[in-house]
Structure 1
Amino acid sequence: MNHAGRTAHRSAKSAARSRPVKAGARIGIAAYGLTHLLVAWIALQIAFGGSGEQADQNGAFQTIGQQPLGRALLWVLVAGFAAVALWRLEQVFWGFSYESDRVTKLRKRVVSGGKAVVFAVLTVLAAGTAVGSGGGGGQQGATAGVLGMPGGQLLVGVVGVGILVAGVVTVVTGVQQRFRRDMSLPSDRHARAVALRTGQVGFAAKGVALGLIGVLVVVAAVRLRPEEASGMDTALRTLAGQPFGPYLLAAVALGLLAYGLFCFFDARYHRV
């Protein structure tokens, strides 16, 4: 039994660290950047004239699917996202050997677990769009279901606070350039500077967007109105409705654009 367990352990580790998975992970990170570029473009349209597309991953996938060869590209994204999910799962168990501090290593492994879940969800959403099924309304329905449970209001509120905290941490990650520890940055000074600046601005904007989602989820819990907790699209459209909202939304959109560009650097230079 122990021998079989060790063999399975080595096989799983070998598969997760294989060249195809690593190459697929880089494709997935780049694909993640592409979706953020599309979300940024949709958000800019909302800020200055309106858009019928969703300013979130679903809207990005639908935009891709409408293009020539869009279905084929979506399946490439599915493969890339799945590879990132597998790679992140590998990091949970065996990753970050370059970190000497045990607390830092544990924290990064926990974050990788969360990112594995995110990319698994993206895999499902992209695949659903590729086969023609819609992806809207999932979060709202889930929130409504949880709010209807005993203690559900408190649970949704806690989740909202958690998302808000994640947004703050993401902003801090950008401002302090914490992301650079997981990258082997290029020696070229210009490319290095662009990677760092797009990372700083991009992480800060993404953190603001996450913070808005967290606030909406908390408000939904307080008011018992799950329709107010509908993710990125609702958060950005809510921002657009505030005083000076279009300009604030445009600033966030440009930040998300920077994050999308950073992902292309990350795809090339991340320690995979």
Structure 2
Amino acid sequence: MTNAKSAAHVVQDSTVFRTIARIGYVVLGIVHIVIGVLAISITTGGGQNADQGGAMEQIRQAPLGVFVLWIIALGLAALAIWQIAEAVAERDPDSKRKWGHRIKFIGTAVAYIAIAITALVYALGGRSDSSQSTKSFSAQLMSTPGGVALLILVGLIILAVGIAFVVRGFTRAFEKHLDLPAGTARKGIVAFGVVGYVAKGVAVAVTGVLFVVAALTNDPESAGGIDSALHTLAALPFGPLILWIVGGGLIVYGLFCFARARYARM
């Protein structure tokens, strides 16, 4: 553990590594902006998946797209390592809160690694269908003993993460992790954070609900990722309007990530 903490401090004391990790927030913002645009395109019959895979495909098709994908993979990998270092170096004197923070940091790192791997796959010329992978995972899990209960648990965890995003947005809890400037700039960044966190939370929460529905109806086809969640929102009454709001919110979250790259406490 002492060696792990020493390694974590080396990472945190490295100016170069900190800079690369901040770039991770920038590329995270780019990915969310593209997903937001793809979400809005669903209302007009857009055929691209509105998820990480769809975003990577759009980026790959852009000028210098493959180069950008490599930057995304590198930046998010660095950001994931930074989160792991934060987990190892966590100093909260309260044991329960300390482990709560560590779980959050590790969970965030896993999410960043997953997006980085997707970017790497597309940079190397491959493809990824997250919705189909999710459905296959759900089918395999449901075929195992106790699989239905496990799938419900997965759905409830994802739902809880989505709710946590919404709560973090409304309570502006993200502010304590930022060194924000005073005045109008602060108000603007906070407003972007509130809107962005709530919109992302709604999309993630619906994804969790789809897992629970798939388990309760014994239909793995009901499960899916962010793309399936957004299509579910589109099918609701006033769905296109809801999707415009959520898609716009994801774009705002992406812009918030740009500010986070500059003002995050690292």
The TM-score normalised by the length of structure 2 is 0.94
Give, as a single letter, the amino acid of the residue that structure 1 aligns with 2:218: L
Change (3 A) 1:11 1:256: closer
What is the percentage of aligned positions where both structures have the same residue? Answer: 38
1:81 aligns with 2:81: no
Paired residue type of 1:226? P
Query: What corresponds to 2:128 in structure 1?
Result: 135
SS at match of 1:262: helix
Asked if structure 2 preserves the Cα contact closer than 8 Å seen for 1:17 and 1:90, the reply is no
Decide which of 25, 31, 48 is 1:29's aligned counterpart. 25
- Retained in 2: the 8 A contact 1:21–1:86? no
Tell me if the contact between 1:16 and 1:86 (Cα under 8 Å) persists in the aligned partners. no
Is 1:14 aligned to residue 3 of structure 2? Answer: no
The one-letter code matched in structure 2 to 1:26 is R
Does residue 1:164 correspond to 2:164, yes or no? no
* Matched AA of 1:37: I
**Is the counterpart of residue 242 in structure 1 residue 236 in structure 2?**
yes
Q: Which residue of 1 aligns with 2:180?
A: 185
The aligned counterpart of 2:263 is 269
Q: Distance in 1 between matches of 2:156 and 2:39?
A: 24
- Are 2:72 and 1:62 equivalent residues in the alignment? no
Q: 1:201 aligns with which of 195, 201, 214?
A: 195
CA gap 1:178/1:9 in 2 versus in 1, 3 angstroms: closer
Match of 1:72 in 2: 67
Query: What residue number does 2:102 align with?
Result: 109
Which residue of the partner structure matches residue 45 of structure 1?
Answer: 41
How has the CA–CA distance of structure 1 residues 248 and 16 changed in structure 2, closer, same or farther, with 3 Å as cutoff? same
Matched, 1:255 2:249: yes
Q: CA RMSD in A?
A: 1.7
For residues 11 and 25 of structure 1, what CA distance do their matches in structure 2 show?
Answer: 16
Q: Give ranges in structure 2 of 5+ residues lacking alignment.
A: none
Note the C-alpha offset of 1:204.
0.7
> How many pairs align?
264
**How far apart, CA to CA, are the structure 1 residues paired with 2:147 and 2:110?**
22
Deviations 1:22-50 (A, max 9, x none): 11111111111111111111111112x11
Tell me if 1:91 matches 2:86: yes
Letter in 2 for 1:234: S
Tell me if structure 1 keeps the 8 A contact 2:29–2:258: yes
Alignment-mate amino acid for residue 240 of structure 1: A
